[in-house]
Amino acid sequence: MRKRLRTLRVGERAYTWRATIGQVAGDGVDRHRCVRVRAWGAGKNGRALEADLLSKAVSVGWTPAATDGSYPEPADVRFLIGCALALGWDPGVLGGIFRLTEEHGVELPGFLLTDRVRDPGAPDPSARVIRANDR
């Protein structure tokens, strides 16, 4: 399957980005939509920005991921890039990945950052989605 790369501008720099749809398991039987966003500001050899976005959507059915159609908008990616730059991401450095994680406290209107994809011991996505929707 071909991966679709998109571009946007933040300041004077053009960024290329893609979003890959996946799922992340909760502590129970729930599975939630998770979208991995990757962005480059200096070509594929530059330091990539990576963020795993947990959808805040509460869908019906056996598992929220089955009916969740959430997908980040370019404005969401622009916001992530701005946050990463403020946190010290230098897209011009060769190689490596700059990850936005839960500890950075970044929240989008429809998404939370999650570490659960890489760390099974990270906080339960189900509980986090419920708390986010109660606010």
Has residue 68 been placed in a domain? yes
Let me know if residue 36 belongs to a domain: yes
User: What is the pLDDT at residue 65?
Assistant: 67
Tell me which residue range forms the domain holding 129.
Answer: 6-134
Number of domains comprising the chain: 1
- Are residues 32 and 126 in contact, defined by beta-carbon separation less than 8 angstroms? yes
- 98 or 132, higher pLDDT: 98
Mean pLDDT of 26-53: 90
Residue 46 CA to residue 48 CA, distance in Å, equals 6
User: 55: closest CA among 73, 39, 82, 81?
Assistant: 73
Closest C-alpha to 107, from 80, 71, 135: 80
> Which pLDDT band, with edges at 50, 70 and 90, does 61 fall under?
low
- Does the pTM exceed 0.75? yes
Supply the pLDDT for residue 1: 44
Q: Over the stretch 91-130, which tens digit does the pLDDT of each residue have? A: 999 999 999 999 998 989 999 999 999 998 898 888 888 8
Residue 84 scores a pLDDT above 90: yes
Q: Is residue 62 part of a domain?
A: yes
46: in domain:
yes
Q: Please check whether residue 1 lies inside any domain of the structure.
A: no
In a domain, 27, yes or no: yes
